[in-house]
């Protein structure tokens, strides 16, 4: 399902309203990140918004949001709302088109989506009003691989702390199985329901390396509480419906989290870092993924200062590492890349360990 409607005939000089520009950008991003279904659906939303003769279904559910800028993620909220209806069994006709529930998309998908939007307009609008909630399990492959590189075979007990944890699914990273290359060995507990296939490329971490997590604590300014009814379905709904590997691993991680629940405290990043403590004989890890961009500039600076001050108290017997998977410019003016980086104390040296992708799989290790 690629292609979809074009914008031919549009006055190229006319400025797009922010929402239309955002939906176009999001469609391109989905196409570039392997979701032809979402790229197509977002382009069809745009076509309905800009064509005065189109049915007003899309206009109606997005009413009042025409000035919404890109960071509001309106396109992903809208498709999240539709996916939620599919996952909760309220859009059976559309299920036949959605790969996350075994369907196959095709040219007939868009009219069914539009029917679903019309039939469930109130629910869709209510869903749109909620914040987008995501927790990408694939990022565990990058984070755990980075941690193995930092440990370099040492069997030090690890105290795992995370900022911007969302539902905390990446705090169970050591309980997932990660494959080095398409035909390579697997790291992690045999029998884990979460299998991150073909996740490590390049100079891969040792798949036999030990990892002993003795403490795990998440924090987030707006955590997803998986104990709340419906929270897991809502989180799953934000996974792109045609990316079945991501859907599968998120489902598996949610099932694992029901057996091994993790604590995610409602605490912002500055407060969380200010509360860190070191412990002799342990490696204290602060890790984070795709959350740095949501911190204000002053908060980014504050976290950096707190870590540096705290790092200055680290010793060889009580080391500290900040491990991150964040979009960064490798050089001034260069394009953003998802870099896996570690800053270790004592010393405070920062090393880029690998280059990943937005959803964490695969990561190429340097
Ligand atoms: C895109 S999600 C990433 C979640 C998770 N780290 C992952 O990789 O799947 C960003 C998370 O950062 C959290 N966040 C935003 N601002 C924050 C802040 N100031 N302090 C702590 N968490 C924050 C959001 O609530 C959200 O859960």
Give the pLDDT confidence of 325-345 residue by residue, as tens digits: 999 998 899 999 999 999 999
Give pLDDT, residue 14: 53
The CATH architecture assigned to 139-228+238-365 reads 3-Layer(aba) Sandwich (3.40)
In this prediction the pTM is: 0.93
DSSP code of residue 315: B
Q: Which atom of ligand 1 is nearest to the CA of 139?
A: 8
Q: Is 171 in the pocket of ligand 1 (CB under 6 A)?
A: no
| Confidence at 12, pLDDT banded by 50, 70, 90 | very low
CA dist., res. 366 & res. 344, Å (int): 17
Examine the pLDDT at 202 and tell me if it is beyond 60.
yes
**Mean pLDDT within 310-338:** 95
- What is the pLDDT averaged over residues 50-66? 94
Percent of residues, the chain, with pLDDT higher than 90: 91
* H or E, element range at 248: helix 244-259
pLDDT of residue 330: 86
Per-domain residue ranges of the chain: 18-129, 139-228+238-365
The pLDDT assigned to 295 comes to 95
DSSP string, 82-113: HHHHHHTTS-HHHHTT-GGGT----TTHHHHH
C-alpha of residue 77 to centroid of ligand 1, in Å: 16
Gap between the Cα atoms of 291 and 300, Å rounded: 11
pLDDT, tens only, 221-265: 999 999 999 999 999 999 999 999 999 999 999 999 999 999 999
Ligand 1 pocket check for 291: Cβ under 6 Å: yes
- Please give the pLDDT value at position 10: 46
Q: Is it the case that residue 271 has pLDDT exceeding 50?
A: yes
**Does the structure show a pLDDT above 50 at 2?**
no
Q: What is the mean pLDDT of the chain?
A: 94
Strand partners, 291: none
Cβ of 300 below 6 Å from ligand 1: no
Q: What's the pLDDT at 72?
A: 73
Query: Which of the four pLDDT bands, split at 50, 70 and 90, describes residue 275?
Result: very high
Structural element, H or E, at residue 272: helix 269-274
* 283 touches 321 (CB < 8 A): yes
């Amino acid at each position: 399902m690629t292609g979809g409607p074009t914008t031919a005939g549009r006055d190229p000089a006319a400025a797009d309203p922010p929402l239309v520009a955002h939906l176009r950008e999001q469609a391109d991003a989905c196409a570039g990140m392997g979701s032809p279904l979402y790229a197509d659906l977002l382009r069809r939303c745009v076509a309905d918004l800009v064509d005065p003769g189109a049915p007003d279904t899309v206009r109606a559910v997005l009413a009042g949001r025409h000035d919404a800028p890109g960071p509001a993620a309106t396109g992903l909220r809208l498709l999240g709302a539709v996916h939620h209806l599919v996952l909760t069994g309220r859009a059976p006709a559309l299920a036949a088109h959605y790969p996350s529930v075994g369907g196959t998309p095709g040219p007939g998908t868009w009219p069914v989506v539009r029917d679903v939007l019309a039939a469930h307009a109130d629910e869709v609008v209510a869903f749109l009003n909620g914040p987008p909630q995501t927790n990408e399990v694939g990022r565990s492959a990058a984070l755990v691989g980075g941690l193995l590189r930092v440990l370099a075979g040492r069997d030090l007990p690890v105290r795992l702390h995370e900022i911007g944890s969302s539902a905390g699914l990446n705090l169970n990273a050591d309980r997932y199985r990660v494959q080095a290359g398409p035909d390579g060995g697997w790291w992690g507990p045999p029998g884990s329901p979460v299998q991150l296939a073909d996740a490590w490329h390049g100079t891969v971490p040792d798949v036999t390396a030990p990892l002993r997590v003795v403490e795990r604590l998440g924090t987030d300014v707006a955590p997803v509480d998986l104990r709340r009814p419906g929270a897991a379905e809502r989180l799953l709904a934000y996974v792109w419906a045609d990316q079945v590997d991501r859907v599968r691993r998120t489902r598996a991680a949610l099932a694992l989290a029901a057996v091994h629940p993790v604590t995610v405290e409602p605490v912002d990043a500055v407060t969380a870092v200010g509360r860190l403590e070191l412990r002799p004989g342990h490696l204290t890890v602060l890790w984070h993924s795709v959350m740095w961009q949501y911190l204000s500039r002053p908060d980014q600076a504050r976290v950096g200062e707190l870590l540096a001050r705290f790092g200055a108290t680290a010793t060889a017997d009580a080391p500290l590492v900040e491990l991150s998977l964040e979009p960064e410019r490798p050089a001034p003016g260069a394009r953003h890349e998802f870099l896996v980086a570690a800053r270790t104390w004592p010393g405070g040296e920062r090393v880029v360990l690998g280059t990943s992708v937005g959803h964490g799989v695969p990561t190429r290790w340097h």
